[in-house]
Structure 1
Amino acid sequence: MLYPLFAMFLLTLVVAMVMLKRRIGAAKAGTIRFSYFKVMQGQEIPEKVLQAGRQYQNLFEMPVLFYLVGVLYMLLNMESLLAVALAWGFVGFRVVHTLIHLSYNHVMHRLLAFLASVIVLTVLWGMLIWQYGAAMQSVPGLG
């Protein structure tokens, strides 16, 4: 489970670098004043810069729940081949979502990648709760 979690971390770093590159490029080109970044308002921002910033924010929304479920799988010693495969599936869908968002940005395509990642994440959470409940049934006094 650690490797998919690390892969999500790397994806976040890559998007942060893309965002930084686009912001610096726009500032150097004069399409954004550096003063804009004080409070992030007061100026029209190029779409590519906004896309990168929004994608970076996206990586601190649903993926936070992915990090949590992944850590819980490890802490509770409930990792399985299926759980790890689903975790990689989540990462894969988030990579697809990111590639769409940072390139041609077709909303329906992006939505499908997002929904697929949400379904995978929901299954991961459901499996964890089910496995934990089953494990607790076998503990004397708790079942």
Structure 2
Amino acid sequence: MLYPMFLMVLLTFVVGFITVKVRFASVKSGEVSAKYFKLMDGGNVPEIVTKTSRNFNNQFEVPVLFYVVCCLYISLGIESDLAVIFAWLFVVSRMVHSYIHLTYNYIIHRMLSFWAGLMFVLALWIVLFINQI
């Protein structure tokens, strides 16, 4: 479980670095006032600023359920090959989701990768529950 969790953390940092880079570039180019970032309000911003900010925020929503369930597997000493597979599938789905969101942003593809990830994390919780019965 530790390796998928580590990769998920790396994804969060990569998206965070991209977000910061985009924000600095938008201020430097004059497309966005630095004041905008004080409250993230007021004025129109380029789509890339909104996309990267929202994608970064996404890394702290459903993935929280992933981190919690993985920590439970580790702390309870539960070893499950099926759970490890679901953990890797979750991380891959989140990577695909971020790629889609930050590049061509086709809503159907993004939604499918999001729902796949949601189902994988649900599966992790179900397997954990079954192992504890």
Same fold (TM over 0.5): yes
Q: Quote the offset at 1:79 in angstroms.
A: 2.2
| TM-score w.r.t. length of structure 1 | 0.91
Residue 59 of structure 2 is matched in structure 1 by 59
Letter in 2 for 1:45: V
Determine if the alignment matches structure 1 residue 111 to structure 2 residue 104: no
Identity percentage over the alignment?
46
Q: Once superposed, what is the RMSD of the aligned Cα atoms? A: 0.6
Determine the C-alpha separation between the residues in 2 that align with 1:79 and 1:52.
36
User: Deviation at 1:62?
Assistant: 0.3
Output the TM-score relative to the length of structure 2: 0.98
Which residue identity is paired with 2:54?
R
The question of 1:18 aligning with 2:18 is answered yes
- The one-letter code of the counterpart of 1:85 is I
Which consecutive unaligned segments of at least 5 residues does structure 1 have? 134-143
- Total equivalences in the alignment: 133
Structure 2 residues not aligned, in runs of 5+ = none
Task: Extract structure 1 runs of 4+ deviating beyond 6 A.
Answer: none
- Between the aligned partners of 1:53 and 1:38, the Cα distance in structure 2 is 14
Bigger-Rg structure (1/2): 1
Using the alignment, how far apart are the partners of 1:38 and 1:115 within structure 2?
Answer: 32
